[in-house]
Structure 1
C-alpha cells in the first residue's frame, strides 16, 4: 500500500492523534448498522487497520462479532491497541476463501495501487452476499474536511491522487460488486478546534505529508488563528461507500 510508507514516526503520530473520541464514533456505528446487521459470529475484516481503533470499537459495540485486523506496516502492528494484528494487504489477505461477511476499509483506499486486484482479493475472502464498507475522503467531496479548510493545497492532492467514487465502483464492478450507497457521515473529530490544533501531528495525515513545507506552515498558522476564536467541537464529514 502506499501514497506514503508508514514508518515508526508516522505510526507513532497516528497512534497519538488518530483515534476518534466516543462521540466521534457514534455516527459511524449508526451508519454501519444501516447496511450490516451485527450478530454473534459475524466475521469482519478490518483491512489496513492501522493501530486497531476500529477493531477495538467493533468488539466493544458488538460482543460475539469476530474481527480480523490486518495491516501491512510492522510499525503500525507494533503499536496496535489490539492483538494480534496480522500482516497482510489488499492483495494478500490472510483469510480463507468465502470466510468473511464484511470488509471494513477505513481511510486507506487511497493507498491501494491496484483497485481491481484489491477487489478480486476481497471478493475471494467474502462470503456470498458479503458487504464492503469503504470510509474515506473522496475527490470533489471535501467541503466538510477540516484539513481542506485550512490547507487548501490538500484539495489538489485529494482530487489528483485519491481514487474517486466512480473509479472505485468501476474497479469493484469487475469483481462482481455493485454500489449500494454513498453516505456522508459527520463525526466529532476533537472536542474543539483548539484541541485539534494543539494535538495535530503532520505525520498522521497523508494529505498533509503530500503538500509542501511552506504550505503546511501557512495552513498551521491559519488553523491556530481560527482556534483562538472558534468555539464548539471540531467536526469532519467523510463518506461511507457501500458495495455488495
Structure 2
C-alpha cells in the first residue's frame, strides 16, 4: 500500500462519518496517525490465574463456576456473583445490571473474567469485570497470545474498537508504508530496529514482554521511536536556524532630525 499518511481512516471497516469524527478528536485522521497512536499501558491476559493465588490490586484473568448470584441492598443496590475454581472463591460485583444479565449468571454457569481483585466485605471482589460464559461441553477458548494494549481514548471510543482499528492498520503496514528518516548507517551504529518492527511490537507485545520495562519507556522499540523523534526535532531546529541566518537585517537610515529634537528636549 502507498504511504499510510495519505490513506484516511474511513477505509477501515466500521469507520463511517460519525466514527471518523470521534477518531479526529484524538488526532486520528489517517492510518499513519492510527499506527503512531501508541498504548499508554498493557494488560496481561495471556494466562488464567487460579483464584487462590490472587492478591489485592492484581489484574488477572480467572475462570470459575458460579455458585450463587444475589441482589444485595447496601449503600447501593448491587448484584453479587460468587465464583469458585477449586482453589478459592471470590465475588463479582455489578452496580449496573439488568434482569437478563442476572439470569445469565445463574448457578452452575462457567465464566472467564478479567478485572482487578480488591478487598471486600467477604474476601476478594472484582467490580464490573469483563466476562464471558464458557460452554461446559467444549474446551475453553485460548487466552490472548499477546499483551492487551490500553490506548488513549475519548468518549464514545472504546478500547475494543481502538484495538480493532489498530490491527486493521497493522495488516496494511508494509516496508515502505511509513517514512523512515534514519539512514541505514546511523541505525546500524546505534543498533536501532526498523521503524515498522518497533510499531508492530508496541501494538502487540508478546506474552513474555517485560511490563516494567515498557511502563518505564526503556524498551528497545520505544527507544527506536524516541531516537527518531529527537533526531527530527533537532533537524527541524537546525533548519529553522539556517532559515533565520539567511534573512538579512534591513538597513536603517541615519536619523537627520530626531537627534537634534531629542537634545533640544533635554532642557
TM-score by length of 2: 0.17
Higher helix share: 1
Greater relative CO, 1 or 2 (CA 8 Å, sep 6+): 1
Max radius of gyration: which structure? 2
